[in-house]
Chain A
Amino acid sequence: MQEILAQPRLMTPASQSDQLLIQRIRQGQSEAWAELIARFEGRLLAFVESRLGSRSVAEDLVQETFVGFLTSLPNYDARRPLESYLFTIAAHKLTDHLRREGRRPALPLTSANAKTSSWELPDSARAASSILRSGERRQLEETALVAAMREQIEHWRGRGDWEKIKCLELLLVRGWSNKEVAAQMGLSEQAVANYKYEFLARLRSSVRTQGLPEEVFPELYQGQ
């Protein structure tokens, strides 16, 4: 117990208990299905309701989420964390609902007519000209990068380098500039730049070692 409270147990791939639960649901066990609902409905409801402000509509969307989960179960990869998968379905249901309500805009381009130039974003320094790969290949690239990122984060966490983790999270997840992160964290811009360099260098090395194509990770090579 003491260990639980002292150690930050960050989200990890699917837990054994989730995997067993899924196995029982796949066998059609209704008690297992009731258990999954009891375990996750509250957080899904909180997620959806916070955006809608309507309890009854939120409950309908959570209901659709559970139905969506069962209908997609044959394609669910049990190594994927169950909670994240359920949140993803709920986010899709929410997005569809908001689009129908006119709150989310229709995008002018679709994947069917997207041309290369349309995804060359302003700060993608080395956007590739043609990167056609299978979904499986993309998944492999992502899995490799996740492992490298997780390893570095765990390394910092083990050393109590929370400051570095916070800086990288703001830089990458929230897209803040070095200057903004430095101001938030009370650090010099140079210190933030050094943390960023350390993290990205580690990822570049991993990409190189595993023979992954550099052009599909443009952020790793910006300013190089």
Chain B
Amino acid sequence: MSQPIRQADLEAYLDEALPTQEMARIEQALRKDRDLVRLLAAIQARRDAGVHSLGEIWRRHRLTCPSRDQLGAYLLDATAKEVADYVTFHLQVVGCRLCLASLSDLRREAAEAPEAAETRRRRYFQSSAGYLRGR
């Protein structure tokens, strides 16, 4: 049985912060359920009115996200047990999308040919450097 869609899920959905499967599940539900769309609109209106949400603040300021170094050490199995246990929880149970992206990038870094990354980076640079001040 699938989990119910909670208000906190919708808040995270608005910020593109849920794991991708969760995002897809909510998008599917929103297509069928007008009440859910209204709730989403109410969350947006509440934000516009300036009412704070603890979960949003926690997520936005990434209060418990491991650092990049920490994620790298986690991949190498070089963290203390209780820290590794927490990182696993943060990735798998909380499903922090930003940390999952970072972890996936660290894995790719180890596997990808350096030329592929270099080509991408050159393209990004060439298409954006014109916006640098003084150029």
Contacts and interface: CB of A to CB of B under 8 A. Distances in A.
A175 B67 contact: no
B44 to A, nearest CB: 6
Contacts of A83: 68, 98
A165 B51 contact: no
Contact of A165 (B86, B105, B135): B86
B42 A66 contact: no
A179 interface: no
Nearest to A39: B68
Interface string A144-167: 011001100100000010100110
B129 A33 contact: yes
A54 interface: no
Contact of A30 (B66, B117, B135): B135
B30 interface: yes
A208 interface: no
B123 A217 contact: no
B66 A9 contact: yes
A30 B62 contact: no
Contacts of A28: 132-135
Interface in A159-181: 160, 162, 165-166, 169-170, 172-176
B57 A6 contact: no
Contacts of B75: none
The main secondary structure of chain B at its interface with chain A is helix
**In the complex, which range does the number of interface residues on chain B fall in?**
35 or more
A121 B55 CA distance: 15
A38 to B, nearest CB: 5
Contacts of A45: 105, 120
B83 A6 contact: yes
Interface string A104-146: 1101110100111011111110011001110000100110011
A100 interface: no
Contacts of A122: 7
A218 to B, nearest CB: 6
B52 A141 contact: yes
B97 A149 contact: no
26 contacts: A7-B83, A8-B79, A10-B62, A11-B63, A27-B133, A33-B132, A41-B120, A42-B105, A42-B108, A50-B97, A70-B128, A70-B132, A83-B68, A104-B27, A107-B44, A114-B44, A119-B43, A119-B46, A119-B51, A120-B46, A146-B61, A149-B57, A150-B61, A175-B6, A175-B8, A216-B52
Interface of A: 4-12, 25-28, 30, 33-34, 37-38, 41-47, 50-51, 59, 62-63, 66-67, 70-71, 73, 81, 83-84, 87, 91, 94-95, 103-105, 107-109, 111, 114-116, 118-124, 127-128, 131-133, 138, 141-142, 145-146, 149-150, 153, 160, 162, 165-166, 169-170, 172-176, 184, 203, 215-220
